[in-house]
Amino acid sequence: MDDLVKKRTSLPCPICGGTSYTWGILYANGIIFQPGNPSMLVTNGARQLTRLCNDCGNLQLFKEQIPRSGKMPE
């Protein structure tokens, strides 16, 4: 995960201030949240990261560009 994404994902929930999350993937145009490995979904050269706040249910979306080398960030 690159430094900017690490910084953004370390912040608390902007709605309730919670810090407990479940990471996963959004399916069906953002209608269905599936807990699991967020690095599985890659579109248009970027990895989609989605987390669900366990306190208030807010979904937060992050995007991480994949380097041109094609190697996924750690």
> What is the 3-state secondary structure of 5-73?
HHHHHCCCCCCCCCCCEEEEEEECCCCEEEECCHHHCEECCEEEEEEEECCCCCEEEEEEECCCCCCCC
User: Residue 58: its pLDDT value, please?
Assistant: 94
Interacting residues of 35 by C-beta distance below 8 A, sequence separation 6+: 22, 23, 24, 52
End-to-end CA distance of the chain: 5
Q: List, for residues 8-44, the tens digit of each pLDDT value.
A: 778 899 999 999 999 888 877 768 888 887 666 666 7
Q: What predicted TM-score, i.e. pTM, was given to this entire model?
A: 0.70
